[in-house]
Chain A
Amino acid sequence: MSRTRIWKYSSRSDFSEYLIAFLAIVLTAGICFPLSHFIGIFSVGLILLMVVAVLALFLGRWPLMFAAILNVLVWDYFFQKPLFSIGIMQIEDLFANIADLLVAIVSVILITRIRKSKTILQNSQERLIILNNFLESMNNAKSIAEAVQIAGENLKKYFGQEAIIYIKDKNSNSLFSAPYGNSDFHNANGIAIAQSLFIKSSTGRPGDSEKSTDGITYFPLLDPREAIGVIGINLETYTPPGEDKILLFKSFITIIASTLGREISIEKAMEKELLDHSEKLFQAVLNSVSHELRTPIAIISAAVGNLNDARTSSEPEKRRQICVELESASNRLNTLVENILDMSRIESGLLKLNLQYCDIADLVGLVVKDLKGELHGRKLNISIDENLSLIKADISLIRQVLVNILRNAMMYTPSGTGIEITASNNPAGMVSLSVRDYGPGVPDENLEHLFEKFYRVPGSRSGGTGLGLAIVRAFVEAHKGFIRASNEPDGGLRITMIFKAEK
C-alpha cells in the first residue's frame, strides 16, 4: 500500500529549482542581449521581471528570491552602462535597480503566500476526507478485533506504520497484557509506560502522551466515560513531524477510542445476556428436575400418610390402591434416576458400546413385555419385515431407546389410542425402525427441538424431565444412526430411526 502524500506545502528547495531559475534568467538575458539596441534596456528589464513572475508560478520561495536577485544583477551587468560590470553611472539606474528588485521580491512574496494558503486549504480538505473515510470504516467494525484491524490498516495507509494498542482488561482495572496491532513495539518498557499512562488516565488525571526511549509515543485512548486503553506509535520516523500530523493523529485516536469503547460496551452487554440466558436455563433445569423428583416423593409421602391413618388403611381395597400408587411412584423415581445416570454417562463421554448382532423383532418383543403394565388400554400394532436385516447394536441401549420413545408416546397420548411400531429394510442398505402414535403431534416449529436436552414442548402437560428423548438421540447417534420426528398427515407423531443393516 503506497503512502498518500499529505504534507506538500513545505517549500521544495532542491538544487534543480535554483538551476531552473538560473537558466531561465541567463537564457532570457542571452536572447535579449542582441535585441537591446532596438528595444532599449528598460524593455529588457521588464522582460526579465516578467520571467521572474512566470517562475513564481511554479518554483519555491528561496529559488524565486534567488531569481529576483539574479534578475537585477544580470540586468545591471549585461545591459546597464558600464557594461559587463556591477555598478551604476547614473542615479536613475540605481532607482531602476531598486524598483526592479522590490517589484520582483514583492511579487514573489505575494505569489508564494497565495500558494501557501491554497495548499493549507487543500490539506485541511484532504484531512477531512481522510478522517471521514476513517470514521466510516471504523463504524463498520463489528468487534474489538475488527476495529483494531481497521485502525491498523488506516494508520499504515496514512502514517506508514501500524500502531500498538493495549486494551483494558474486562475484569480488572489494568491493561490486558496481550496487545493488538504492531507487536514489534511490544516490550517491557513500553508496557510499563502504557500501564502508568493508563492508570493516570483512569484515575481522572488524563496524561497527554508519553514517549519511550525507543521513540514510541503512547497516547491514552479515552472514551467519554472511562479510559479504555493506550495506543503507541513511532511519530519520529516520519518527516516532517509537524504539528498538523500530531493533530491528525489525535483525531484518529479519538475515533479509535470511541469505536473501541462502543465495541467493549456491546461485548459486555452480550456477555451479560449470555450469562442471564444460562442462568435461566439452569433455573429451568433445576425446576424441572426438582419437580420430577419431588412429585413421586410427594406421592409416596401422601400414600404413607394414608396407610398410617386407620380409617383408610382398614379397608383392604384402599390398601391395595395405595400400594399401586406406591409402586408406580417408585417406578417413576427409578426411571428418573436411570435417565439422569444415562445422561451423565453420555455427557462425561464414558458411553461405551457393547456391540452385538441384534434382531429388532426380538428387541421389540422384550420392550413390549417391559411396558405391559403401563399401556392403560393402548393397543400396540407391531409390523416387522419378515426378512429384516440384523443390526449391530448395544442391546441394552437400544432397548432403552425404544422404552423411552414408547413411554413418551404414552405420556402425551390419551389412553385407549393405538401406537404403531414398524421396522423394515431400506433399499439403501439400512434398517428403519419407527414408532407412531395417534396423539396431538407436536407443532411443526417445535419438531427440531424435540431431542434437545431439557426441552419441553410449550404448553405440554407437566411430568417428564426433558431428558428421555435427548438420551434417545444420544444413544442412536452413538450407534451412528439417524433419528428424526415428523407429524403424520392424519395426526400423531412419528419418530423414525435408521441404522446400518448387517447382512
Chain B
Amino acid sequence: MEKSKIKYKVLIIDDEAQIRRLLRMTLESNEYKVFEAATAKEGMQAVTMNHPDVILLDLGLPDESGLKLMGRLREWSAVPVIVLTVQDSESVMIEALDSGADDYVTKPFNAGELLARIRVAIRHSLRMDESPVFRSGSLEVDINSRVTRLNKQEVKLTATEYSLLLIFIRNAGKVLTHSYISREIWSAPYADNAQILRVHIAQLRKKIENDPSVPELLITEPGVGYRMKILPLPE
C-alpha cells in the first residue's frame, strides 16, 4: 500500500453492479478514490470528467465491447487500463494487450493480486521506478554499468539476453505479449521468432533464476507471454 497522502483515483467500468460495489469496498479500504461506470458511454464520460489514474475495464459491456472502448480511449489518453474479464481465452487477452491494455485480471480474481497490478500500473504511468538499479528478489541489475548480479554474484549475459532482460525490467510487473517482445528485440513478427524467443527466455532463466525449472522472476503467462515479477528483497 502506498503510504502517501495522495489518493489515487480508480475508475471501474463494469456492468455488474455487485462487482462494482465489492471492488469499491476493497479499493476504498486501500485508500483509493473510486468512480464507477456501468456502460462504455458512461465510462468514456467518467474518464474525461474524473481523470482516473487507473481504469479497471470489463470487456463485456452492454453497449460496446471493452476492446472498442479502449481503442477509442488510446487515441487520446495513456491512462493505464487493467482489463477485468471472465473471458479467459488467450486470444482475447492478447488482443486486449495489443490494443493498448496495460494488464489483465480474470474473474474471479484475488484482491491482493488485483491491488498489486493496480500499484504496478500506477507506478509505471507516473514513472516512479526509473531508478538506475533494479531489484527483485535476489536479482539486482545496475542499468548504468550494465552489471547483473544474482545473490550478489555477477552473471554474464549475452547482448540479446541483456536487451531481453532490460525490456522486462522497464515493464516490471506487467505482462508482455510474445509479439510485443518479438517486435522490440527483432522488429519482426512473433511467428518468425517463436522458437528463438523460447530459447532465449530459457537461457535467461538459467542465469537469473535461483531454480530455472521453477521460475520466480520471469514467469510464463500461458498462451499470452511473460511477466517480470517484482519480489520483495531477501532478508
- Residue numbers of A with Cβ under 8 A of B are 287, 290-291, 294-295, 297-303, 305-306, 309, 311-312, 318, 321-322, 325, 328-329, 459-463
B173 at the A/B interface (Cβ < 8 Å)?
no
Pick from B25, B63, B87, B109: contact of A298, CB below 8 A.
B109
For chain B, the bracket of interface size reads 20 to 34
Contact A305 B18 (CB under 8 A): no
Contact B111 A460 (CB under 8 A): no
Contact A295 B16 (CB under 8 A): yes
B44 at the A/B interface (Cβ < 8 Å)?
no
Contacting A at CB under 8 A, from B103-132, are 107-112
Pick from B60, B63, B108: contact of A291, CB below 8 A.
B60
Interface of B is mostly: loop
- Complex interface: chain A residues within 8 A of B166 (CB): none
Contacting A at CB under 8 A, from B34-75, are 60-63
B22 at the A/B interface (Cβ < 8 Å)?
yes
Contact B22 A306 (CB under 8 A): yes
Contact B108 A297 (CB under 8 A): yes
Determine the distance from Cα of A299 to Cα of B23 in the docked complex, in whole angstroms. Answer: 9
Take A299-B22, A312-B25, A321-B21 as given contacts and tell me if A305 and B110 are in contact as well, using a CB distance cutoff of 8 Å: yes
Interchain nearest-CB distance for A96 vs B (Å) = 99
Interchain nearest-CB distance for B61 vs A (Å) = 8
B29 at the A/B interface (Cβ < 8 Å)?
yes
Contact B111 A329 (CB under 8 A): no
Determine the distance from Cα of A311 to Cα of B111 in the docked complex, in whole angstroms. Answer: 13
Take A291-B87, A321-B25 as given contacts and tell me if A461 and B111 are in contact as well, using a CB distance cutoff of 8 Å: no
Contact A311 B109 (CB under 8 A): no
Supply 14 further A-B pairs (C-beta < 8 A) apart from A302-B19, A305-B26, A462-B62: A291-B86, A294-B86, A298-B19, A298-B108, A299-B18, A300-B108, A305-B111, A306-B22, A311-B29, A312-B25, A321-B21, A325-B18, A325-B21, A459-B63
- Complex interface: chain A residues within 8 A of B15 (CB): 461-463
- Complex interface: chain B residues within 8 A of A306 (CB): 22, 25-26, 29, 111
Pick from B29, B60, B110: contact of A301, CB below 8 A.
B110
- Complex interface: chain B residues within 8 A of A329 (CB): 18
Contact B107 A298 (CB under 8 A): yes
Determine the distance from Cα of A462 to Cα of B65 in the docked complex, in whole angstroms. Answer: 11
Interchain nearest-CB distance for B67 vs A (Å) = 14
- Complex interface: chain A residues within 8 A of B21 (CB): 321, 325
Determine the distance from Cα of A196 to Cα of B37 in the docked complex, in whole angstroms. Answer: 71
Contact A294 B107 (CB under 8 A): yes
- Complex interface: chain B residues within 8 A of A297 (CB): 107-108
- Complex interface: chain A residues within 8 A of B111 (CB): 302, 305-306, 309
Determine the distance from Cα of A185 to Cα of B111 in the docked complex, in whole angstroms. Answer: 76
28 contacts between A and B (CB under 8 A): A291-B60, A294-B107, A298-B108, A299-B22, A300-B108, A301-B108, A301-B109, A301-B110, A302-B22, A302-B23, A302-B26, A302-B108, A303-B22, A305-B111, A305-B112, A306-B25, A306-B111, A309-B111, A312-B25, A312-B26, A322-B22, A325-B21, A325-B22, A328-B18, A459-B62, A461-B15, A461-B62, A462-B60
